[in-house]
Chain A
Amino acid sequence: MTGDWIDVGALVEIPLRGARTIKAANGEEIAIFRTAGNRLYALVNRCPHKQGHLSQGIVHGDAVTCPLHNWRISLSTGEALGEDEGCVPTIPVRADAGRILISRIAMLATLAA
C-alpha cells in the first residue's frame, strides 16, 4: 500500500559503510546506514550512552562504533554490543528500485515515544 513507506532519497546518496540522516520536524534525527554487505538500517541518531550521533560513527560489519565513546551498536537490533548495555530504537527501512523507503508508521511511533 502506498503511503506506508516514505521515499527519503536515492540509495546512491549513502556510500557503502556510510550513513546519512533524516531530519524530523521535532528536532530528532534518524540515521540510515548502508553496510559493506549493502544492507540498509535505520536507527534513531542517538547513542543510548550519551546521545552521540551514531550516523557519524565508523560502520563495520553490521555494527557502528559511536564517535563519542566508542560504544558499538548493532545496526539490526539497536542493542549495545560487548560489555555495554543500552538500546536505541530501530525503524524498518528498505531499498526499492534504487530508492530508500522508510516505514512511516514506525517513524511516527518512534518519534512520538
Chain B
Amino acid sequence: MDFQGTGIGAENRDDAPDTVGTQRLVVIGNGMAGCRAVEEILARDPGRFRITIFGAEPHVNYNRIMLSPVLAGEKSFDEIVINDAAWYADNGIELVAGDPVAAIDRAARTVTANSGRTVGYDRLLIATGSDPFIIPVPGKDLPGVISFRDMKDVDAMLAAADRGGDAVVIGGGLLGLEAAHGLSLRGMKVTVLHLMPTLMERQLDEAAGWLLKTELERRGQTILTGADTAAIVGDGKVEGVALKDGSTIPASLVVMAVGIRPSTALARAAGLAVGRGIQVDDHMVTSDPAILAVGECVEHDGQVYGLVAPLWEMCRALADGLVAEPSGYRGSVTSTKLKVSGIDVFSAGDFSGGDGAEDIVLRDAARGIYKRVVLREDKVVGAVLYGDTADGSWYFDLLRKGDDVSSIRDLIIFGQAFAQGGGQADPKAAVAALSDDAEICGCNGVSKGKVVASIQAGACSLDAVRATCKASASCGSCTGLVENLLALALGDAVESGPKTICKCSSFTHDDVRREIVAQELRSIPEVMQKLHWTTPDGCSSCRPALNYYLLCAWPGAYVDDQQSRFVNERLHANIQKDGTYSVVPRMWGGLTNPRELRAIADVVEKYDAPMVKVTGGQRLDIFGIRKEDLPAVWADLNAAGMVSGHAYGKALRTVKTCVGSEWCRFGTQDSTGLGVKAEKMSWGSWMPHKFKIAVSGCPRNCAEATIKDFGVICVDSGYELHVGGNGGIKLRGTDLLCKVATEQQALDHIAAFIQLYREEAWYLERTAPWIERVGIDHVRRRIVEDAVGREALTARFLFSQSFSQDDPWAARAAGKDREQHAHLGEFRPLEILAAEGAR
C-alpha cells in the first residue's frame, strides 16, 4: 500500500482492481467539478482509466455551495459530503487529500505535489476551481480577515461567532450576503459593505436590489452601499474597517467576499494557453491535447463561470469527448437563487435590457413582490424575481429553450398557472370568468359584484369607480382588473381618467403626491415598488417629478438623486444650443456693486465668454462657458461673494424690483428692500417649476409685478399681493390674493403661497395653470381665510429652507462632484494615425 499525504481510500495503482484500464488519469482538484467529471467518466466507461485525484483540502468531495447552510446552522458537514471515502475505494480511485499539486511537467507527463510525490499521467484533468479575490488594501493580512470559500473559512467564522461581537462582510454579492446571513444568525452584529449602489447588482436589477436591502435591514443587518474600503485596521488582529469617506466600522471579524477569479497559476506555469481562465475547446481540451480542464478555472468561448450549473454541462461534454461520442459544450445560460432563508430571489439570463429588449414588470406592494421578465423578439432573455420565485424555473426553461412567447405575452408575468391556464389567455375573459363574490380590491374588500354594481349605477371611469366603491382607491394594484371590468361593462363608453404621471405608471401626479406622504415613501425605488411602476427605472418624465415630490415631502431627510435631474440642475448652469453653458450669479433684488461687476467682468475676459446680457429679471448672464470651466467660473464668482442665481432651476429665479420710495418720486414703500428680503427668504428652494417674484413701489408697476408668480404692488396703505401671473407662452395677469399692512405680513404670505404651490402643483406646472386648475378661491381659502393654516404653511416653508439655502456653486467649486464636468479621457486621432504610419 502506498499512502501519501493524508490520503484516504488510496489504492496503489499496482493494487488497483483488474477491471481498471491501463490509461492513467490524474485529476488536480477534488472539488465539485473534478469529482463530477470523474463520475461522468465512470458512468460511461468505468474501465478506461486508473484515476488519481489530488485535493488541496483535507476532505473528501463536498458540496461547496452548501457551505452557506452549514454556516447558518441549517446543515452539518456530513450532510454536504457528496462522495464519501467508500466511493473512492469502490471505484479504485486514489485520493491524495491535503497535498496540493505544485507543478505539471508536460514533457514528462507528470505532476508533482507539495510533498514531492510525483505521478505520471496519460490524461490530466485540471479542476482547480477559483480563488477568492482579496482586495489589496492595507491590513488585508491581519488575523481575523478571511474569505468565504472552503470549510476552513466556515470553521473560522463559527469560532469568531462563538466569541460574539461585530462582523464586517466586504461584498454585497451572493456569497457576501450568505456569509452575512449566517453570521447574523450566529448572533453577530453584521455590517455589509458594498462598493456598488445596489446589492447583488450582477444578479438583480436596481428595484430588486432595493427590496433585498430593505429586507436585510429589517432583519437587523447594516447595509452600506457605495462603501469603498480604504483599509482594514487593527493592532495585531483585526479591529475595524476604514472607509474612503473617513468613517470606521468596528469589527472583530472581516469576511472578504468581493468575488472569485479562476485559479490558473498551475496551468500558466505549465505553459498552457490562459486568458481570464484556462482556455478550452468545446470538449474541455486545453492547448495541450493531453490535458483537459473543467469548472470555474476554465475559459470557454470567452466566458468564465462562477456558478454550479455550467459545471455539470461541462463535465458531461468532457466525459462524452473523452470516452464516448463527442457532444460538445456550447456555453451555459445561468440562473441564480440566494440561499438566505425566507428571502426569495431569483435571476436568470440577461436582464440589463439593451437592443430591442422589452420589459414586463409586475410590482405587488402588498405582498412585497417584484417580477420582471425581459423579452427580445418574443423570446424570454432574462428574468428577475423577488418575493415570489415559484415560477423561476418555468421562466428559465422558456429562456433556455428560446420558445416564442407571443401567444402568452399578456399573462406571462403572472406565471405558469395563469399563462398556461387554457381559455383564459384574454385578460378580459379571465375577469369575466370570475364569480361575483371574487375579491377585486384587497385593500378595501371590494368584490367583483360591487364593482360591477357601481359601474351599472353610472360610474363610467376609473376615478368614478374609485370614488363610489373604493376599489383601486388605495394601493392601486387592482387597477388593471377594474379597468378590465369597466371595459367589459361599458365597451367604448369608458371615460379615460386624468392623465397619469407618465407611461410608466397608472397613477396621476396627485395620486403619487398623496401616496408618498400617506405611505411615507422615502426613495424613488420605494415609490416605484409601492405604486406598481411598470418600468424598471422610470423615464425622463417621471424620475425628475418623483425626485421633486420626495424632496418636497421630506425636507432635510430625502437624498437628492442627481441622475433624475435635468442637466441644468445637475450642472447648475443653463445648457445652450451649442452645448456651452450660461452662468447667472444672484443679484439680490437686482442690486449690484463695483466688486461684483468687476468679478463678472474678470470672468468674462478670463474664460472668453462671447456675450454678457442683462436678463429680463435684472441680472447679468454670462454666455458661452465650457462645461469643464464651470467649477472655476463659480470659484471666481464665489470669491467676490456671489452665489448661484438658480437661473437654471425649477426654483426661485429672480425678484425684480423698482427703486421705490428711496429714490422714486412716486414710490410709496421700500420696494427694493422688500425685494431683497423676499429673495433672501426664498432663494434655494426647489419648486414644481421656475418661480418669479416682483415688487413694484407704486401702482405704475415698473417691476411688472402683475405677470409674475407672486407680485407685490406697494400702495400708501400697505401691500397688494398678486399671484399666478405668467409672461410665458400664455400671457396671464395675476389674481389679487389680498392686501396686507406690513412688510412682514407680505413676506409671510409669500412664504405660505410658495409652500402651497410646492405641495400641491404637479411637477412642471407653473403657478398660472395650477391656479386655473384649482381655482383662486381655493388659494384664498388656504392662505387668506385660514390664518392658522397660513402660519403652518409659512412654518413648513421656512423649515424646508433651513436645509436648502446653501450655494450649490460653492460645493461644486470646492471639489464635490467636480469630476462630472471634466472629460473622462482624451482621444487624439492624429497621433494614432501618425503612429500607424501607413495612413
Contact = CB atoms under 8 A, between A and B. Distances in A.
A51 B579 contact: yes
A83 to B, nearest CB: 14
Contacts of B248: none
Interface stretch (B61-69, B336-344, B420-428, B825-833): B825-833
A18 interface: yes
B539 A61 contact: yes
Contacts of B359: 61
Interface size band for B: 35 or more
A29 B833 CA distance: 18
Given A35-B353, A60-B538, A76-B355, A68 B543 contact: no
B577 A68 contact: yes
B823 A15 contact: no
Interface stretch (B51-59, B558-566, B584-592): B558-566
Interface centre among B354, B356, B578, B830 (most CB of A within 10 A): B354
Interface in A1-49: 6, 8-9, 12-18, 20-26, 29-30, 32, 35-39
B825 A9 contact: yes
Interface string A49-83: 01111001111111001011010101011000000
Nearest to A112: B829
Given A15-B563, A37-B351, A61-B359, A23 B205 contact: no
Interface centre among A12, A35, A61, A77 (most CB of B within 10 A): A61
A67 B565 CA distance: 11
Given A8-B827, A14-B824, A58 B575 contact: no
Contacts of A60: 535, 537-540, 543
Contacts of B575: 52-53, 56, 67-68
A100 to B, nearest CB: 7
A41 to B, nearest CB: 9
Q: Is the interface of A mostly helix, strand, loop or mixed?
A: mixed
B832 A108 contact: yes
A61 B353 contact: yes
A107 interface: yes
A65 B357 CA distance: 18
Given A35-B353, A58-B564, A22 B827 contact: yes
A25 B830 contact: yes
B579 A23 contact: no
Given A37-B351, A39-B354, A68-B575, A107 B829 contact: yes
B185 to A, nearest CB: 31
Nearest to A26: B829
Contacts of A51: 577-579
Interface in B348-368: 351-357, 359
A107 B827 contact: yes
A72 to B, nearest CB: 8
Interface centre among B355, B540, B571, B820 (most CB of A within 10 A): B540
B537 A8 contact: no
B352 A37 contact: yes
A75 B637 CA distance: 37
A56 B824 contact: no
Contacts of A32: 824
Given A67-B566, A68-B575, A22 B826 contact: yes
B828 A37 contact: no
Interface string B796-839: 00000000000000000000000110011111111111000000
Contacts of A72: 540
A24 B824 contact: no
A15 B535 contact: no
Contacts of A15: 197, 562-563
B537 A17 contact: yes
A63 B624 CA distance: 28
A60 B353 CA distance: 11
Nearest to A110: B829
B392 interface: no
Given A37-B351, A56-B571, A61 B823 contact: no
Contact of B563 (A17, A20, A38, A50): A17
Contact of A24 (B537, B571, B820, B826): B826
What 8 pairs across the A-B complex have the smallest Cβ distances?
A: A37-B352, A65-B540, A8-B825, A56-B567, A20-B824, A76-B355, A58-B540, A17-B563
Interface of B: 195, 197, 201-202, 205-206, 351-357, 359, 535-540, 543-544, 562-568, 570-571, 575, 577-579, 819-820, 823-833
14 contacts: A24-B826, A35-B352, A37-B354, A38-B201, A39-B354, A50-B577, A53-B579, A60-B537, A60-B540, A61-B536, A62-B355, A68-B577, A72-B540, A76-B356
